[in-house]
Amino acid sequence: MEARFSYEKTAPGVYQAMIGVEKYLENCGLEESLLHMMRLRASQINGCAYCVDMHWKDLRAFGEQEQRLYSLDAWRECPYYTARERAALAWTEAVTLITEGHVPDTVYEEAQAQFSERELADLTLAVTAINAWNRLSIASRTVPGIYRPAKANPFEKGA
């Protein structure tokens, strides 16, 4: 696989706009591990190899257990996730797959039980951002495997 182009090099404004969103999310108060978990799940759904590689590595750098990572695509069937994580994952899937039900009320109610309105707004932005990163990376054919996690600030290298 060969990259088509790099947003950072050819359209730095696009890249910087996305980094601006990530910097907001970095300081929004949601758990960083939770954000990476939902980013990984959305990237799995969207088939973004670069982002799957990135967020898997970031989660491992934060000390996440392998079992929770390799079971993520079957999270509903596993006891490894908290109620808050389950609500975030359900919300992530519903927002990512928006044409398959327009975020059902049951998913909203589950999320609302775990997150404040502000947190839910921030989580929705995070889901929207990773879906945008997925589409940017897939369209430009960003090559997976080269990302190295920067545990102190994983957003410096993009999503």
Q: How confident is the model at residue 150 (pLDDT cuts 50, 70, 90)?
A: confident
- The percent of residues above 70 in pLDDT, for the chain, comes to 94
pLDDT tens digits, one per residue of 56-102: 999 999 999 999 999 999 999 999 999 999 999 999 999 999 999 99
Residue spans per domain, the chain: 33-145
What six digits make up the tokens of 148?
């190295």
Q: Decide if domain 33-145 falls under CATH 1.20.1290.10.
A: yes
| pLDDT score, position 151 | 66
Q: pTM of the prediction?
A: 0.92
The answer for 150, left when phi > 0, alpha when psi is -120 to 50, beta otherwise, is beta
